[in-house]
Structure 1
Amino acid sequence: MTEDLNFTLTATFDGFNTSAYKRQGCGSSTCEGVAILKLLHVSEVGCVMLGPSCTYATFQLVDLSIPIISAGSFGLSCDYKTNLTRILPPARKISALFYHFIKESLPFKDVWKQVYVYKKVINFLLSESRNISFLKKTTIFLFIQLLCIDYYNLTKFYGTVKFEYGVFGVFELCQRGSLRHILNDRISYPDDTFMDMEFKISVMYDIAKGMSYLHSSNIDVHGRLKSKNCVVDNRMVVKITDFGWHTILRPGRDVWTAPEHLRKGGVSQKGDVYSYAIIAHEIITRQAPFYTLDCSDPTEKIHRVQYPSGMSFFRPDLIFDTASDTELELYKLIRNCWDEDPERRPDFKKIELTLGKIFSNLHNQATETYMDNLIRRLQMYSRTLERLVEERTALYKAERDRADRLNFMLLPGPVVRSLKETGRVEPELFEEVTIYFSDIVGFTTLCHYSTPMEVVDMLNDIYKNFDGILDHHDVYKVETIGDAYMVASGLPKRNGTRHAVDIAHMALDILALVGTFELQHLPGIPLWIRIGVHSGPCAAGVVGKKMPRYCLFGDTVNTASRMESTGLPLRIHVSQSTINILQRTDCKFEYEKRGETYLKGKGKEMTYWLTGVTGGKYNLPTPPTAENFQRLQQDLAEMIVFSLEKRAGGSEGFENRTTLSAKLRRRETNSSLQTDSQPEYFHLAVTDNPNTYL
C-alpha cells in the first residue's frame, strides 16, 4: 500500500499466459491463483483478498509479503488430492463480502475504482501491461443483488459462465417448464381433476408471493413479467425467473406490457401488477395470452391497448354471466389489477390477502384443517392418477395391438411371437407342404403399353382380390415378385394332409375370379394367368436382420415354379405328388391327365390339369387351345393398341402417353428423320493416332 492511501490498484505483469500454466497436482483454483500472484507480484500491488482456500495454498502466500484479507474460513490441507472435500462457505457470501469491500471507504483504503479479478473460467490476463476492469459497474452490482435473492417462489441465480460467444447466467432448473407450457398441455394437466379451481388459485398465489418479495427487495421491479417467465418445478411450485434484467436490457413490448409503458416506456411496480392480471386471466381461462373474441392478432391487441378509443379500454374477455361465486371474486381482482389508472391497481401484498380469503372460502376451508385439505387433495390426485393410468394403459394396448397386426401381416404369427420372446427364429423342416405359383401371361406386353402407375395400379387391384380369397383358406402368402404370386400351405402351422386341399380350393377360386376380372386401364383385354402346384418337403426360416422375411428353401419350391412356367393360360398345372395327396382325402377333385412333361432339372414327370370338384360350382373360364393361344398372343399387342386408342380418343392421344412403346416409336421416328447422320453409337471421339494404350 502507498503512504497516503490515495491510489489506483493496477495489475502489472509481462508475458504471462494462463493457458501455459501447469498445475502442480492440486485441483483447487486458489493454488493456481497463488502461483500466478507470485509471477505478478511487484511493489505496487496493494493487497490480496483470498477466497476460501486450503492451508497449503495459504502457506504459499507467506513469501509474498502482501497484506492478505481472508474472505472465508480456511479448509484442511488438500495434500495434492485430486478431489478435495471442501468445508468452505458458499460463493454468494464471498461475493457479497467482495462487493461491500470494494465500495466501502475504510480507514486504510478509499472506495476502489478498479480491481483485478482472477477466476478460473474467465481469462482476464492480457498480453501487455494495462488496467483491467471486469464488466460494467452496474452489471456487477446487478449480479451481486441477484446472488443475494433467495426466496421460495423465485429462481435462484448462481452466477455467470463465459463462452466464446457470450456471457450466460446460470439459474435454478425447473423441470416442468414454463407456466405457459403447462396451460397448453390439457392432456397431462386436465381441467376437471388436476388444474381445478383450487390449484389455479394456488398458482396465482405463488406468483403473487414471489412478486411481493421481489418488490420489497433491492431489485424493486421485474419489468418483464409474463407466463413464459413463470416456471414450475417438480413439486408444482411456481417460481418467477428473468427478473432484474430491466437495468441492462430494454423492456419488451408485448401483450403483458402495461398501457402506460407502451406509451412512455420504462418499468414500474404497477406495470408488474398489470402483467400479473394478464397471467391470471391465462390461468383462469386456460386460453392464449390476452384472449378475446374481438381480435386475434397480437400486434393489433398491443395497438388497441396503447391507443384506446374514448373511455372504453381494450382488455381480455371476462364472462361474468356464467361465472361461479369464486370466479366472480377472481374476475373482480383481475379487473382491478389491469385498471387503466396505475394508482388504482392494488399492490401484491393486497393481492396476497385477497387470494388468501378466496382460497379459505373455497370448499368451506375456514373450518377445514390443513391435514383434511391435504388428505382430500391426495385422494383426488390418487383417483386422477388411477384414471390416467387406465387411459394410458388402454392407449398402450391399442398401439401394441396395431403393431402386432402389422407384424402378423408381414410375418407368420408363430414367427412374430418367437421374435418378440427370444429375438430369433429357429429354421424348421416341414415333411410335406403344398406350394402354389401363379404368373400373368403377357405381362411384359402389358407393361410395354402401360405407364408405370398403371402397372402398379393393375397389380394392386389383382393382388388385393387374390388376398381376399386367401382369407377363406388355411394358407400363407409367402411373397410377390413382380407378377409372380407365391402361396404355401402346411407351414408355418402344420395341418396334416389339408395343405393340398386348401391350395387346390384356393387355386380354383383364383381362376374363377380371373375369368371375370377386367383391367381398369385396358377394358376388353382378357387377363390370363398360369398356375402351378406341387407338394413335398420344405425348409423355412427368417433370413436377414433388416426387413426380415420368412423364406422357403428346397427342391419343392423349384419344382412348383417349374410347374407354373410349363403350364398353359387359365390352367391349374398339378404334379403327381399333389394328386396322390388329394386322392387320400375325402374331397373328390376332378382332374385330367396331361401326360409326361419335361421339367428343367427334373426330367420328364407325369402332370395333370385340375379342373374342379365333384358337385362344386366353379365358374371357371374356358382355357384356349395351344393353337389359339399362340395366335392370341401374337394379336395381344394389336388388341392393347386398339383399346388404348379407343380410350384416348384417337392415335394422337395414344402417341402422347408416357409408356415404353411410345418412347420407342418417337425414337424410331427421330432416327428416320436423320438418316444422313451417323448412328448414335458412332459418335465417338477419335484421334489421328488410333492406338490404344493400356
Structure 2
Amino acid sequence: RKEFSFFQDVIYNEQFVLDEKFHGAFVKDITLGLEYLHLSSIGYHGALTTWATLIDRNWQVKLTDYGISDAVARWTKHGSINDEILKDGDEKTDVAQKTSILYVAPELRLADERNRKNRVDQAWVQQSVDKRRAADIYAFGMVMYEILFRNYPYSDKTDISELVDKAVAGEKISRPTVQKDKQLHPDLQALLQDCWHDTPDARPSIRRVRLSADAILKTKGSLVDSMTRMMEEYANNLEKLVNERTGMLEEATIRADKLLSQLLPKYVANELKNGRPVPPKMYPSATVMFTDVVGFTRLCGSSTPIEVVTLLNSVYSGFDEIINKHDGYKVETIGDAYMVVSGIPEENGKRHINNVAEIALEIMKFLETYRIPHRKSEQLVIRVGFHSGPVAAAVVGLNSPRYCLFGDTVNMASRMESSGEPGKIQLSEQSKKLLQNDYPEFITTKRGEVDIKGKGECSTYWLIRKDNSYFNTAT
C-alpha cells in the first residue's frame, strides 16, 4: 500500500471536496515545512511546486525534492548526470517538468537566461540563502493559490502551454494575480500579492506568511486534529439530534397510538401493531344502539357538502363525549347513522344496558339545545333504537382493518332505530327486561306491537327518562 500520494493528484481531483478546514491544514503543513527548512542548515527548498509535495494517509502534507537543485544543476552542466535519464520513469515528469518553470521566481528566471547567454554558471546557484528563501515564498504563493482554487493564478483565457514555452525561452511572462472571479478574504489576497512581489526583499518571511495564513484561515492543529474535533462536534450534535428525534418519535408514536385506539379497540390495536392476528370473539351479552338523523336527505339537498360535513362533525363530537363518559364504544358512523355498543370490546357484566340507556337520554338532552350551524333556527331531530343480546366481534380486512359486530342483536338494534319515531328512543323487549330487573330507575312505556322486518310482530317500548328520585324512595 502506498504511504504517500502526490499532493497535485489530490487538489486537482474533483471527487475530493476540500473545504476551508482542508485549505487551512494544507497551507499550515507546507508553511511549517518551509519554516523548518529555512531555519535548518539546508536553508531553503529551492524547487517548491505542488509536485514537490506529498500527502500521507493522515492527510498531512510533506515536502520533498528540497535542497537538491544546486547539485542537480551542477552535475547536469558538467555532464555527470543526464537530465533525460532522470526524467525517464518519473510519473510526475510529463506535467511537472513542463509547468515547474511557473513556480520559479522572476529574478531567478532572468538570471538563468542572462547567464545562459553569457555561458556562465547559473547565477541563482550563487545567490545568497536569503534570495533563495525569497524565491521559495514566490513558489509558495503559487502553491497556496492552487490549494484554494485548484487552478493557476492566471486568467482562464491564458494558454498555460504557451506561458510555459515563453518562460522556458526566457521571455517575460505575465505576473500571477488573484483573478477577479475568485472570492477571497482581502487579507489573504494581499498576502498572495506580497508573495509574488517583483522585489525579493519585499516578500514576507516564511514565519510571517505562516502566522498570517493561520490567522486568516483560522487553522488550529493538524487536519487530523480538525477532523477529530469535527467528529466530536458531530457526535455531540448527533447525540442531541438523536434525542430530539427520539422525543419526536415518541410523541408521534403516542399520537399514532391515540389515533389508532380511537379507530380500533385498544387490545385489537396492540395485537395488530405486534403483527399478531385477532381472532373473532363471541360476547354473550351486550347492548347495541343506532341513531339516525331525521330528514337528512332533504337537509343534504339544500346544503353544501362543507355545511353537511360541519354539521355531522359537530354533532358526532358531542355524541363522542357522551359515550366516553359511559363506557361506550363507537363502532362506526356511516353518513348520518351512528352505531354505539357497550359490553364490547370490554365485557362489563350487566352494566351495558345502563350505559346505553344513559347515552341515549344524554344524546336527546344534548340535541335539545343544539342548533344546525348553517341554520340556527332549525333543531336537529334523530331516531334512536337499541337492543340487547349476544354479539360476535371481529377485525375485518388487511389494508384498512375494521372492527365489526355481527349477529341478530345488531340487526334487531338497527330495526329498533329504523322503525322508531322522530325524537324518541325505542328499545326491544329484551332490553326493557334488563332495565326493569337491574336498573328500574329508567322509566319506559310500552309502544305496542310493531311489525319488525324479518321478525314479525314484536313488542317494543319507549325510553322516557331516568328517575333519579327512585333511589331516595327505595331507601
* TM-score under structure 2 length normalisation: 0.59
Q: State which of 381, 404, 421 in structure 2 corresponds to 1:528.
A: 381
The answer (yes or no) to whether the contact 1:270–1:345 under 8 Å persists in 2 is no
Give the Å deviation of 1:468. Answer: 2.3
Match of 1:445 among 293, 298, 301: 298
Q: Distance in 1 between matches of 2:466 and 2:150?
A: 88
Answering whether residue 24 of structure 2 is matched by residue 205 of structure 1, we say: yes
Q: Distance in 1 between matches of 2:8 and 2:217?
A: 28
Aligned twin of 1:591: 444
Cα 1:249–1:598, aligned 2, differ >3 Å: closer, same or farther? farther
**1:482 correspondence with 2:316:** no
- The equivalent residue for 2:271 is 418
CA drift of 1:408 comes to: 1.7
Match of 1:343 among 147, 168, 193: 193
Q: Give 1:455 deviation, angstroms.
A: 2.0
The reply on whether 1:541 has 2:394 as its aligned counterpart is yes
> Is 1:464 matched up with 2:317?
yes
- Cα deviation for residue 586 of structure 1 reads 4.9
Task: Determine the structure 2 residue equivalent to 1:556.
Answer: 409
Secondary structure at 2:24's aligned position in 1? helix
Query: How far did 1:441 drift?
Result: 1.0
Rounded Cα–Cα distance in structure 2 between residues aligned with 1:407 and 1:250: 67
2:179 corresponds to: 271
More strand by share: 2
The one-letter code matched in structure 2 to 1:343 is: Q
Map residues 1-150 of structure 1 onto 2, 5 A cutoff: 149-150=8-9
CA contact (8 A) 1:531 1:567 kept: yes
Q: CA offsets, 1:468-487, max 9 Å, x none?
A: 22221211111111111111
* 1:220-257 C-alpha deviation (Å, 9 max, x unpaired): 99xxxxxxxxxxxxxxxxx9899459999889xxxxxx
Aligned to 1:600: 453
Instruction: Give the whole-Å Cα distance in 2 for the aligned partners of 1:587 and 1:490.
Output: 19
Whether the 8 Å contact between 1:271 and 1:342 is mirrored in structure 2 is: no
CA contact (8 A) 1:436 1:486 kept: yes
Q: How does 1:222-241 map to 2 (within 5 A)?
A: none
Deviation at 1:463, TM superposition (A): 1.6
- Distance in 2, Cα, partners of 1:504 & 1:456: 27
> Aligned partners of 1:375 and 1:207: how far apart in 2?
16
**Alpha-carbon distance in structure 1 between the residues aligned to 2:152 and 2:417:** 82
TM superposition shift of 1:387: 3.5
Contact 1:274 1:337 in 2 (8 A): no
Letter in 2 for 1:336: D
Distance 2:7 2:225 in 1: 37
Query: Could you list the per-position Cα deviations for residues 628-676 of structure 1 after superposition, in whole angstroms to 9, with x for gaps in the alignment?
Result: xxxxxxxxxxxxxxxxxxxxxxxxxxxxxxxxxxxxxxxxxxxxxxxxx
Equivalent AA in structure 2 for residue 216 of structure 1: T
Deviation at 1:529, TM superposition (A): 0.6
Mark the CA change 1:399 to 1:155 in structure 2 (over 3 Å): closer, same or farther.
farther
Deviation string for 1:78-136 (max 9, x for gaps)?
xxxxxxxxxxx99xxxxxxxxxxxxxxxxxxxxxxxxxxxxxxxxxxxxxxxxxxxxxx
Corresponding residue of 1:55: none
Amino acid at match of 1:531: V
The residue type equivalent to 1:205 in the other structure is G
**1:558: Cα distance to partner?**
0.8
Q: Distance in 1 between matches of 2:392 and 2:12?
A: 67
1:580 corresponds, among 407, 427, 433, to 433
Q: Does 1:216 align with 2:50?
A: yes
Could you tell me how far 1:382 is from its partner in structure 2?
6.0
Q: 1:246 to 1:379 in 2, by over 3 A?
A: closer
* Cα deviation, residue 425, structure 1: 2.2
Q: How does 1:231-380 map to 2 (within 5 A)?
A: 243=150, 270-271=178-179, 275-277=183-185, 335-337=186-188, 343-344=193-194, 353-354=211-212, 356=214
Residue 403 (str. 1) matches residue 256 (str. 2): yes
SS in structure 2 of the partner of residue 534 of structure 1: strand
CA deviations over 1:469-517 (Å, ceiling 9, x no partner): 2221211111111111111111112222111111111111100111211
1:120-153 CA-partner distances (Å, limit 9, x unpaired): xxxxxxxxxxxxxxxxxxxxxxxxxx999433xx
Aligned equivalents of 2:455, 2:302: Cα separation in 1: 36
Are the equivalent residues in 2 in contact too, given 1:435–1:488 (CA < 8 A)?
yes
Aligned counterpart, 1:391: 244
Distance in 1 of aligned mates of 2:328 and 2:399: 25
**C-alpha distance in 2 between matches for 1:267 and 1:593:** 112
**Residues 370 and 209 (structure 1), Cα distance of their counterparts in 2 relative to 1, 3 Å cut:** closer
Cα separation, partners in 2 of 1:450 and 1:386, compared to 1, 3 Å: closer
Checking the alignment, whether the CA contact within 8 Å between 2:327 and 2:355 is kept in structure 1 is yes
What displacement does 1:338 show? 5.0
What residue number does 2:108 align with?
A: none
Q: Give identity over the alignment, percent.
A: 37
In the alignment, what sits opposite 2:138? none
From the superposition, tell whether residues 244 and 519 of structure 1 become closer, same or farther in structure 2 (CA, over 3 Å). same
- Normalising by structure 1, we get a TM-score of 0.42
Q: Aligned-residue CA RMSD in angstroms?
A: 4.7
Contact 1:205–1:352, Cα closer than 8 Å, also in 2: no
| AA matched with 2:430 | S
Call closer, same or farther: CA 1:241–1:375 in 2, change over 3 Å: closer
- Find the counterpart in structure 2 of residue 571 from structure 1: 424
Q: Are residues 545 and 209 of structure 1, via their aligned partners in 2, closer, same or farther at CA, if it must alter by over 3 Å?
A: farther
Contact 2:188 2:216 in 1 (8 A): no
**Cα separation, 1, equivalents of 2:450 and 2:30:** 95
Structure 2 stretches lacking a partner, 5+ long: 34-47, 52-95, 103-145, 159-173, 197-203, 471-475
8 A contact 1:438–1:564 mirrored in 2: yes
Q: Tell me the CA shift for residue 271 of structure 1.
A: 3.5
Name the counterpart of 2:347: 494
The question of whether the paired residues in 2 share the 8 Å contact of 1:458 and 1:520 is answered with yes
CA distance, structure 1, for counterparts of residue 240 and residue 23 of structure 2: 27
> How many angstroms apart in 2 are the aligned matches of 1:590 and 1:426?
39
Give the structure with higher Rg (CA): 2
Q: Residues 503 and 248 (structure 1 numbering): CA distance in 2 closer, same or farther, change over 3 Å?
A: farther
Cα deviation digits, residues 538-595 of structure 1 (max 9, x gap): 1122211222211111111111100001111111101122222223435621111112
Counterparts of 2:334 and 2:395, CA distance in 1: 18
The 8 Å contact of residues 530 and 568 in structure 1, kept in 2 or not, is answered as: yes
Cα distance 1:276–1:423, how it changes in 2: closer, same or farther (>3 A)?
farther
Q: Which amino acid aligns with 1:150?
A: D
Aligned to 1:612: 465
Q: Which amino acid in the other structure matches residue 187 of structure 2?
A: N
Match of 2:370 in 1: 517
**Matches of residues 119-198 of structure 1 in structure 2 within 5 Å?**
149-151=8-10, 154=11, 156=13, 171=15
Contact preservation (8 Å) 1:599, 1:605: yes
Q: Do the aligned residues in 2 keep the contact of 1:436 with 1:534 (CA within 8 Å)? A: yes
Question: 1:401 & 1:591 partners in 2: Cα distance?
Answer: 43
Instruction: State the alpha-carbon separation in 2 of the partners of residues 414 and 241 from structure 1.
Output: 64
